[in-house]
């Protein structure tokens, strides 16, 4: 996904090429959609859904949850045909609230990483569950400048997210209201607001990306963040089984990926695990789930970031600024599936995008870390009773005016009269400063490569577990995190290491790491004297050949012997 390059090269075309769709600020997804204009013009409208004339939210029995919605019937044969043929483009007309109709112009998006794996919690690593992924589409709404549309064609339903100038919309099946009955509704028409509290503490959960001594790396806007995702057993049961849970979570992540793509950040799912048996996470608090997930993985997972999705916590939580860290590169999201038969997809997408944003380095917008003078970007958190004492100090008086629309890393979703837009064209998305910070982190991350096939043989050291900190003894066994970033399974590599640029020790590692997988490697014991020391390690000769990307070969740490 060369979204940034494409965005820049097509920007000047937008004003005249498609004035109805792209009259305002052009986003990367809109720029990508321009490439498909000839195909979209020639394509017929899909009969995927048909309106339900005369039906209302009152007749459907969902008026307690919604004040208005566009109601429609999904065609199962058309859905099956689309999932089988996987067309490059898709045109749809959707019944919308207020008796209106929205026309969606979409292109097929690559949401799953090459070598993607789906497995059950009861299976061994590397085994396949047999789950068939959905087909995922991104694009916009015709005649609605700055719009974003993301759809997932799942086995039995369509999951959709629209972000228009007037707010966010959800498309999904209504539970227990007849086979194939779907609704399109605005967040503003929801009579309920799912809870979302982010439990990230700027001091407790700040880790910071590991510095790589002596590395030089060119910023690469094509870098791609691979997501390892686990679905806990509570969510699997709530959705009726592993396949249904995988449909739901992969569909939600496809929409999260669209939100990030509109910020010129590439994100794909590298592995999806559904716990069909009891999972090892028992909470009960959100913080407990984060720590238990972190310790269970131990930095050894198939991806760049790992995320646990469940229904048992009380919000979301993630370690802050941990890209390429390994052990701490994790987050947890407690999501709301539905309320009174009405799906809550847009809230799920916001929670996931928010917590991943913390992993990628962004703090909350009401934290005192912005504007070059350590002040907040907005006061939504303070207006809703949430302080940022760790960055602003106790009893801080926030006087920044409330924005017209909130951004992903804000608390404006719980601020009366504001809300959050997921689309940067409408002043939402991540906002300029958090977006710039995340782009800088991703583009300069030494452990990332492009979303395509990437290098063939590429071993990376993503962190030093031991030594770190202070020690009383004069010897230890170093431990490093080894990751396979190449397309070829990593079966052997040489790990070199030294203390204070002294004698170089070597260790011949052998095993079998699939693309994106990582493992912790213990090295033979080394000795050192009293005082401060630098430990450096680097890999060479992956699979007995030249490393295709030496920029991610090194890792280092600083430690002290006290006595």
CATH of residue 490's domain is 2.60.40.10
- If asked whether residues 478 and 426 sit together in one domain, one would say no
pLDDT at position 542 is: 95
- If asked whether residues 541 and 486 sit together in one domain, one would say yes
Tens digits of residue pLDDT in 214-237:
344 457 899 999 999 999 999 999
- If asked whether residues 144 and 259 sit together in one domain, one would say yes
Instruction: Tell me if 141 is assigned to some domain.
Output: yes
The string of DSSP codes covering 20-89 is TT-SSPPPHHHHHHHTTHHHHHHSPPP-SEEE-TT--HHHHT-TTTBS--EEEEE-HHHHHHHHHH--SE
- If asked whether residues 304 and 257 sit together in one domain, one would say yes
Rounded distance, CA 267 to CA 3, Å?
Answer: 11
End position of a domain, from candidates 415, 450, 485? 450
Residue 446's pLDDT band, with cuts at 50, 70 and 90, is confident
**Between residues 308 and 188, the one the model is more confident about:** 308
- If asked whether residues 375 and 500 sit together in one domain, one would say no
Instruction: Tell me if 11 is assigned to some domain.
Output: no
Instruction: Tell me if 22 is assigned to some domain.
Output: no
Tens digits of residue pLDDT in 287-298:
999 999 999 999
- If asked whether residues 296 and 357 sit together in one domain, one would say yes
End position of a domain, from candidates 450, 477, 510? 450
End position of a domain, from candidates 450, 475, 495? 450
Domain residues for the domain of 493 are 459-561
Instruction: Tell me if 23 is assigned to some domain.
Output: no
- If asked whether residues 490 and 377 sit together in one domain, one would say no
- If asked whether residues 491 and 396 sit together in one domain, one would say no
Q: Which of 109-123, 241-255, 548-562 has the lowest mean pLDDT?
A: 548-562
Instruction: Tell me if 13 is assigned to some domain.
Output: no
Domain count for the chain, please give it: 2
Residue 90's pLDDT band, with cuts at 50, 70 and 90, is very high
pLDDT at position 355 is: 95
Instruction: Tell me if 483 is assigned to some domain.
Output: yes
pLDDT at position 18 is: 41
pLDDT at position 543 is: 95
Tens digits of residue pLDDT in 345-365:
788 899 999 999 999 999 999
Tens digits of residue pLDDT in 273-289:
999 999 999 999 999 99
Of 417, 359, 65, nearest to 198 by C-alpha is 359
Rounded distance, CA 237 to CA 231, Å?
Answer: 10
pLDDT at position 5 is: 43
- If asked whether residues 391 and 528 sit together in one domain, one would say no
- If asked whether residues 233 and 374 sit together in one domain, one would say yes
With H, G, I as helix, E, B as strand and everything else as coil, classify residue 108.
Answer: strand
Instruction: Tell me if 15 is assigned to some domain.
Output: no
* Number of Cα atoms under 13 Å in the Cβ half of residue 84: 6
- If asked whether residues 289 and 410 sit together in one domain, one would say yes
- Cβ atoms of 141 and 18 closer than 8 Å: no
Tell me the mean pLDDT in the region 410-435: 86
- Cβ atoms of 460 and 553 closer than 8 Å: yes
- If asked whether residues 427 and 499 sit together in one domain, one would say no
pTM of the full structure: 0.78
pLDDT at position 92 is: 97
CATH of residue 61's domain is 3.40.390.10
Instruction: Tell me if 244 is assigned to some domain.
Output: yes
Tell me the mean pLDDT in the region 205-218: 48
Position 12 pLDDT exceeds 50: no
Q: How many CB atoms lie within 10 A of CB 17?
A: 12
pLDDT at position 104 is: 98
């Amino acid at each position: 996904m060369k979204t940034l390059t494409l965005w820049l090269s097509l920007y000047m075309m937008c004003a005249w090429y498609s004035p109805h769709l792209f009259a305002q600020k052009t986003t990367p997804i809109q720029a990508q959609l321009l490439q498909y204009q000839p195909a979209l013009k020639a394509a017929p409208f899909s009969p995927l859904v048909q309106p339900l004339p005369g039906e209302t939210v009152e007749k459907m029995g969902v008026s307690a949850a919604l004040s208005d919605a566009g109601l429609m019937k999904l065609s199962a044969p058309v859905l099956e045909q689309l999932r089988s043929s996987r067309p490059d483009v898709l045109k749809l007309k959707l019944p919308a609230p207020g008796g209106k109709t929205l026309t969606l112009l979409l292109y097929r998006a690559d949401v799953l990483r090459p070598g993607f794996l789906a497995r059950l919690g009861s299976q061994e690593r590397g085994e396949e569950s047999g789950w068939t992924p959905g087909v995922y589409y991104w694009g916009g709404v015709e005649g609605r400048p700055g719009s974003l549309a993301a759809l997932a064609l799942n086995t039995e339903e369509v999951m959709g997210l629209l972000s228009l100038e007037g707010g966010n919309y959800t498309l999904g099946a209504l539970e227990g209201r007849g086979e194939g009955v779907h609704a399109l509704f605005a967040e503003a028409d929801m009579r309920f607001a799912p809870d979302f509290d982010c439990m990230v503490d700027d001091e407790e959960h700040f880790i910071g990306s590991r510095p790589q001594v002596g590395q030089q790396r060119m910023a690469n806007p094509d870098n791609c963040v691979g997501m390892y995702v686990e679905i806990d057993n509570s969510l699997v049961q709530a959705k009726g089984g592993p396949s249904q849970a995988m449909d739901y979570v992969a569909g939600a992540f496809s929409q999260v990926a669209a939100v990030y793509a509109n910020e010129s950040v590439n994100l794909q799912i590298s592995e999806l695990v559904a716990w069909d048996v009891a999972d090892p996470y028992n909470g009960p608090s959100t913080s407990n789930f984060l720590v238990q997930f972190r310790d269970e993985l131990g930095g050894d997972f198939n991806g760049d970031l790992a995320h646990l999705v469940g229904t048992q916590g009380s919000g979301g939580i993630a370690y802050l600024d941990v890209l390429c860290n390994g052990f701490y590169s994790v987050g947890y999201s407690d999501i709301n599936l539905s309320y009174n038969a009405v799906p809550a997809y847009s809230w799920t997408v916001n929670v996931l995008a928010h917590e991943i944003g913390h992993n990628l380095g962004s703090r909350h917008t009401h934290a005192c870390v912005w504007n070059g003078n350590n002040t907040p970007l907005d006061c939504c958190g303070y207006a809703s009773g949430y302080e940022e004492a760790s960055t602003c100090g106790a009893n801080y008086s926030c006087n920044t005016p409330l924005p017209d629309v909130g951004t992903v890393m804000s608390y404006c979703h719980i601020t009366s009269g504001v809300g959050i837009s997921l689309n940067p064209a409408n002043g939402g998305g991540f906002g300029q400063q958090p977006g710039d910070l995340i782009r800088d982190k991703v583009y300069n991350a030494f452990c990332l490569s492009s979303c395509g096939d990437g290098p063939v043989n590429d071993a990376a050291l993503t962190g030093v577990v031991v030594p770190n900190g202070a020690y009383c003894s004069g010897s230890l066994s170093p431990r490093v995190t080894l990751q396979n970033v190449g397309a070829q399974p990593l079966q052997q590599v040489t790990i070199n290491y030294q203390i204070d640029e002294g004698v170089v020790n070597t260790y011949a590692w052998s095993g079998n790491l699939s693309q994106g997988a990582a493992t912790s490697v213990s090295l033979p014991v080394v000795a050192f004297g009293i005082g401060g020391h630098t430990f450096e390690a680097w890999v060479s000769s992956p699979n007995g050949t030249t490393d295709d990307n030496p920029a991610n070969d090194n890792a280092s740490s600083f430690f002290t012997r006290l006595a």
